[in-house]
Amino acid sequence: MGPDSAFTPLPREFYNAPTQEVAKALLGQVLIHDKPGSQPCAGTIVETEAYLSEGDPGCHAARGKTQRNAPMYERSGTAYVYLIYGMHYCLNVVTAPEGVAEAVLIRAVMPLYGLGVMPQRRKTESIRQLCSGPAKLCQAFGIDTDQNYADLTQAPLYISAPDGPGPADAPRIVTTTRIGLAAGRGDELPLRYYLADSPFVSRR
C-alpha cells in the first residue's frame, strides 16, 4: 500500500483560480513525489505563499522574464523549482494563465509517506524538522531542478486531495506577511497562509 493507490492528481482547473485563492486552497492538499527508483514521498501542505504579477516587488518576475523565472510564465499547474543561496531548492506551483507570471510557494508540509528516506536526506530524526520549510521539504522529497517545468497534474510530482473523509470542521487559516523578503520587497503584503493548528509550519 503506497501513496499512489490513495491519491489522484488535482485537475488543471484547480490552479486556474486567482493565485491567493489557490494558495489557500492548497492547504490540506497532499503533495506527492513518486520519484523513480526511490521510496515515494507524500505530505499534507500546511503553509504557502502567493507571489503576484502586479504590485508585488517580491515576485521573481517583478522585473520581467529571465531564464530563471521563465517557468512562471507557463500554464498553471506547472512546477517552478529554483536554487537559492547556492544550495537550497524551493518548489512553486504556477497559477495564472500562460504569459502571466504568478505562483504559490510551498513552504511546509506534514510528512505522510517516505518516513524511511526523508530522515536520511534531511539528516535528522525529528519529524517536525523534515519538511517545515521550503528548502527542507524539497530536500526531504528529493526535489531539485530536475522537476523544474514538471506538470503537477500528473506523476511523478503532483498534488492530490487528501485520502478519506476530510475534517469535520474547516481548518482555520492564518494570513500573515511572507518570510525572508527584504524590506520594501513586498514584505508587508499579507500573502502567507498556514494552518493555524499545524505543528509542521516553518514559523509562527
Binding site for DNA (CB under 7 A): 49, 51, 58-60, 63-64, 66-69, 72, 80, 83-88, 90, 92, 103, 105, 122-124, 129, 133-136, 178-182, 185, 202
Supply the minimum distance, in Å, between the C-beta of residue 86 and DNA: 3
Tell me how far apart the alpha carbons of residues 25 and 30 are, in angstroms, rounded to a whole number. Answer: 11
Provide, rounded to whole angstroms, the least separation between the CB of residue 8 and DNA.
26
CB of 122 to DNA, least distance (A): 6
Amino acid present at 15 = Y
Q: Which is nearer to DNA, 35 or 136 (CB)?
A: 136
Compare residues 7 and 89 and give the one whose CB is closer to DNA.
89
CA distances (Å), origin 161, targets 31, 110, 139, 158 = 9, 14, 23, 10
- Tell me whether residue 7 or residue 133 sits nearer to DNA (CB atom): 133
Residue among 10 and 104 whose Cβ is closer to DNA: 104
Cβ of residue 107: shortest distance to DNA, in angstroms? 7
139's CB contacts (< 8 A; 6+ apart) are 88, 89, 121, 122
For residues 184 and 37, is the Cβ–Cβ distance under 8 A? no
Nearer to DNA, 7 or 106 (CB): 106
Cell of 72: 512562471
Cis bond upstream, residue 156 (ω within 30): yes
CB of 125 to DNA, least distance (A): 12
CB 128 within 8 A of CB 4: no
Please list, in sequence order, all residues whose beta carbon lies within 8 angstroms of the beta carbon of residue 2, skipping any fewer than 6 positions away.
34, 40, 113
